[in-house]
A and B are shown apart, each in its own frame.
Chain A
Amino acid sequence: MIQTAWLIPIFPLVAMAAIVLFTHRHRALSAGISIAAVSLSFLWGWSVAVSVWGDPTVHRMSFDWLNLGESMYIPIGIQIDGLTGMMLVVVTTVALMVQIYSLGYMRDDPRYSRYYAYLSLFTMAMLTLVLADNFFLMFVSWELVGLASYLLIGFWFEKQSAADAGKKAFITTRLGDLGFILGLLLLYTGCGTLTFQGVFSAVDSHVLSGGLLTIAGLCLFAGAVGKSAQVPLHVWLPDAMEGPTPVSALIHAATMVVAGVYLVARSMSIFLAADRAAMVVAWIGIITSVMAASIGLVQNDIKRVLAYSTVSQLGYMIMALGLGGFTAGTFHLMTHAFFKALLFLGAGSVIHAVHTNDIREMGGLHAKMKTTSITFLIAALAIAGVFPLSGFWSKDEIVAATLGHPIFTVLTLAVAFMTAFYMFRLYFLTFTGKPRDQHKFDHAHESPKTMTVPLQILAVLSVVSGWIGLPWLEHGFSSVVFHEHPHHPEFHVVWAFIAALVGLSGIGLAYMMYYKGSIDPERVRARATGLYTTLLNKYYFDEAYSVLFVRPYYTMCRGWFWFDQHAIDGAVNGLGRVSVAWSVFNRWFDETFVDGAVNGVGWLTRGFGAIVRHLQTGRVQNYAFIVFAALVVLWLLQ
């Protein structure tokens, strides 16, 4: 199975090609091909993951891609270890669920085939990314992932906001990718290779170290910041909710955004060696986490709440990685992928039913959508870290990773509290209470089987996926994912208890405010108007960027435009006018002086000839007369 692992990304690639080239007119056939391909990838991915589970060897296959002798040698290939196996499971599972779910969700869309082609492209790129055995191939697929993201966010490009969001995502992540490629160049300069094996052995043997390594690490992290929506490049992710909801679930919650986390986790050796870079990573992570969670408290768009939740949870993972909790970060990555995908798909189900994103127009939907409501509740409990759901175990590991850094611990717990609060605020406002929009409530209905079945599967995974990380398992998650740096966290009962308590208190607060009504949210809002407005406006990040970058850029562009119009065009036109004037002068000079000289010579000659011709009468006697007259004159002159 491992020998044919390279087929895993090939299936979706073939599916995409087939859809684009042949079946794009047949909606059902296109969807079928895509789902069949991703199913094959799913099966292959799971079997590969199972076969490498507990197997400490790293399987590598590569071939020469670019061989320029001594100066440049880039082989590409695939590498399979525990981390890759885990990522394969996550990506193929979520992708399969989302594709099945999309059968129902996208049923009425006119660009159905294209949608599946994009999904296949994305799946291929993401699978290549996790399978790559070198930074180069990883970067290529990284960019392909970005392309697929752009295409899918702007899938409903008739809507201006969707088209803008696609561009925003693409350009914002491009800033991070610039850092990524700079980091790759630094690594290549320092190590002479881009394979993971080569780079990490160079780092471990201190071939590459010190400031250069720190800079390289920060550059790589810049890529992760862009892709995983960390501060200050997080602004694209909430806007990316303009895309279809299954896409949000697949790309902007479960898989693509964790590419950055995966990059940092994969580059573990670098960050272990460059502790200052790791510290930057941790700080960025926690700041992102706190900020996004606080924004999530007040948002009213169901998908935006989930988007900020995603940013917040990604910040969690990044922070954990920065603090050395690689297992914690990747473990949370996996569990989060399942329950966040579930949350998004549930939200999609709700949106499908009521045709709005605004939770203020929902309420009481539990009565109409039991499956959706229950699975959504499971996911909310999981993310809140309630025992024994998956989130409990992974969050516990993250809290454990922060031990020794009191600030991080406190902030992590604060985030845990806020996460539990906003998630249950969302749940209560959506599914419980009285319907706030009777008309929409009446039209609401449970989603079709194609949508609810994936919800149920993901609900199961959200519950059980944490169990493979049980600390007392002999071959648990932590012992599998990093063979070369085995990491066995202690299970801190106290901290687990505290974390769970914090989560429960958040749930309790939400219960009191939005279910029982014992605390009026309006009064809380009135008490902290300034904070509320700030949060509602997402700390004014977009506005700040507008003032700091966009408007100066426009101004600069206008300035250049003016410069172009006046100075450059002026210079060009001026040059043209000068040329014309010079030509006119030249022509005048030519006609007057050059021609004049030529004509003048002719005229002079003719005029002189006209005078002199009178001398040449042709009559001999005249000539003789002149001869003798001259003789006399000469004598007189003498």
Chain B
Amino acid sequence: MPSIGLHHYLALSAVVFCIGIYGMLTRRNAIGVLMSVELMFNAANIALVAFGRFVTPQLVTGQVVAAFTIAVAAAEATVALAIVLLIYQHHRGIDVDRINIMKW
């Protein structure tokens, strides 16, 4: 077995990302969807850091961007959870497939 390289990390990233997509598409619970999105964020972070590690080892640009991504994800999670609470107060439930007011 060859040593672990960029492709292995990227493959891991792809797998996690697709799992996240599956979750995002199928979970009814809004918080479940949010968790799936977090998975996808992490997959992206893995890819970013892996590229930075193997393509430009002398720079830390990949890590900078990943750090920003983490910060943005934190902000996203905060706002999203607030919205989930609001929805819960209005609908007495947070099932995403019952929330279709965007239709109007």
Contacts and interface: CB of A to CB of B under 8 A. Distances in A.
Contacts of A619: 96-97, 99-100, 102
B25 A625 contact: yes
A625 B26 CA distance: 9
A624 interface: yes
A160 to B, nearest CB: 94
B46 interface: no
A616 B24 contact: no
A628 B97 contact: no
Interface string B67-102: 000000000000000000000000000001101111
B21 A628 contact: yes
Contacts of A616: 103
Contacts of B33: 620-621
A619 B33 CA distance: 13
Interface residues of A, number: 9
A359 B57 CA distance: 158
A618 interface: yes
B102 A620 contact: yes
Interface string A56-98: 0000000000000000000000000000000000000000000
Main secondary structure on A side of the interface with B: helix
A619 B99 CA distance: 6
A617 to B, nearest CB: 6
A637 B81 CA distance: 38
Nearest to B26: A621
Interface string A597-638: 000000000000000000011111100110010000000000
Interface in B20-52: 21, 24-26, 33
A617 B99 CA distance: 10
A621 B100 contact: no
A624 B33 CA distance: 11
Contacts of A624: 24-25
B104 A618 contact: yes
Contacts of B101: 618
B25 A618 contact: no
A159 B1 CA distance: 145
B44 to A, nearest CB: 15
Contacts of B96: 619-621
A375 B104 CA distance: 124
A617 B100 CA distance: 7
A618 B97 CA distance: 9
A619 B103 CA distance: 8
A620 B26 CA distance: 11
Contacts of B102: 618-620
Contacts of A621: 24-26, 33, 96-97
A621 B25 CA distance: 5
Contacts of B21: 628
A329 B22 CA distance: 138
Contact of A617 (B24, B25, B26, B103): B103
A566 B97 CA distance: 80
Interface string B5-25: 000000000000000010011
Interface string A107-137: 0000000000000000000000000000000
A418 B101 CA distance: 127
Contacts of A617: 100, 103
A618 B100 CA distance: 4
B25, B99, B101, most chain A CB atoms within 10 A:
B25
A525 B100 CA distance: 128
A21 B103 CA distance: 96
A370 B28 CA distance: 147
A40 to B, nearest CB: 110
Contacts of A620: 33, 96, 99, 102
A621 B21 CA distance: 10
A592 B23 CA distance: 54
Contacts of B25: 621, 624-625, 628
A296 B30 CA distance: 135
A79 B90 CA distance: 120
Contacts of B97: 619, 621
Nearest to B27: A621
Contacts of B104: 618
B103 A618 contact: yes
A367 B100 CA distance: 136
A368 to B, nearest CB: 125
A628 B36 CA distance: 15
A622 to B, nearest CB: 9
A415 B101 CA distance: 126
Nearest to B22: A628
Nearest to B21: A628
Contacts of A618: 99-104
Interface of A: 616-621, 624-625, 628
14 contacts: A616-B103, A617-B100, A617-B103, A618-B99, A618-B101, A618-B104, A619-B96, A620-B96, A620-B99, A621-B25, A621-B26, A621-B97, A624-B25, A628-B25
* CB-CB nearest 7 A-B residue pairs: A618-B103, A618-B100, A618-B102, A619-B100, A625-B25, A619-B97, A621-B25
Given A619-B100, A619-B102, 18 more contacts: A617-B100, A617-B103, A618-B100, A618-B101, A618-B103, A618-B104, A619-B96, A620-B96, A620-B99, A620-B102, A621-B24, A621-B33, A621-B96, A621-B97, A624-B24, A624-B25, A625-B25, A628-B21
